[in-house]
Copies of this chain bind each other. A is one copy, B any other.
Amino acid sequence: MATPRAYERLQVDERRRRLLELGTDLFTQHSYDELSMARIARAGGISKALLYHYFPSKQAFFVATVQAAITDVQAAIDPDPSLPPAAQLDATLDAYLRWIEANAVAYGKLLRSAQAAAEVRAVVDRVRSETTDRIVAGLGPAESPPGLRTAVAGWLWCIDGACLDWIEHGAIDRDQLKRLLLGALGGAIAGAGVGTP
């Protein structure tokens, strides 16, 4: 059974988690400039002082909500390591597209207006770089050929560009989009002359 101290800690974590969920809603519905810490506190039913206890500034709160959204995506797309690499990639991409379909507004915002904050750009850049490393390691031999990394790095941008078009125009279904994207990766790798996954 949890000790009183552990229980208190749980409450703190839980409140923080709920504030971040609230943040995702608020930053999706309003522009950054429209929101103030006073308004966020009011929406969360807590005092401004308590909100500042959790997050030292609006910017810090904003960056934390973005980080939480990214953690949420990453948990959703975590691949099954028992599958072969190509099947892992397929399943991960499928899970990513499902997440985007369910969170289209937040995703669009993250890729567009959220990039105004240098901290958010840094988080997105770091995630892209780590994801590139992971995919290259999964696809390639120990010494990955020059060009494979460039192909994968370009492909991650391709996913976001195609997904933005998808959520804005919705011309094709999720499965066709997945085939389009897997085709782009295969074509990039073949075009660079570094073998196919």
> Hey, which bits of chain A sit against chain B, CB under 8 A?
112-113, 115-118, 121, 125, 128, 132, 146-147, 149-151, 153-166, 169, 171-172, 176-177, 179-193
Interface pair B154/A181, CB less than 8 Å apart: yes
Q: Which residues of B contact A150 (CB under 8 A)?
A: 162, 165-166, 169, 171-172, 177, 180
- Chain B contacts of A180 at CB under 8 A? 147, 150-151, 154, 188-189, 191-192
Q: Which of B125, B157, B160, B189 contacts A183 (CB 8 A)?
A: B189
Tell me the smallest distance from the CB of A117 to a CB of chain B, in Å.
8
A153 & B161 in contact (Cβ 8 Å cutoff): yes
CA A150 to CA B166, docked complex, whole Å: 7
Measured in the bound complex, the distance between the Cα atoms of B147 and A160 in whole Å is 15
Interface SS, A side: helix
Bound Cα distance from A151 to B155, whole angstroms: 12
**Closest Cβ–Cβ distance, residue A156 to chain B (whole Å):** 6
- Which of A172, A185, A186 gathers most chain B CB within 10 Å? A172
- Tell which of B154, B166, B176, B190 touches A158, judged by Cβ atoms closer than 8 Å: B154
Given A115-B115, A179-B191, A184-B158, residue A164 in contact with residue B153 (CB < 8 A): yes
> Chain B residues near A172 (CB, 8 Å)?
146-147, 150, 192
> A190 to B182, alpha carbons, bound, how many Å?
10
The CA of A164 and the CA of B124, in the complex, are separated in Å by 14
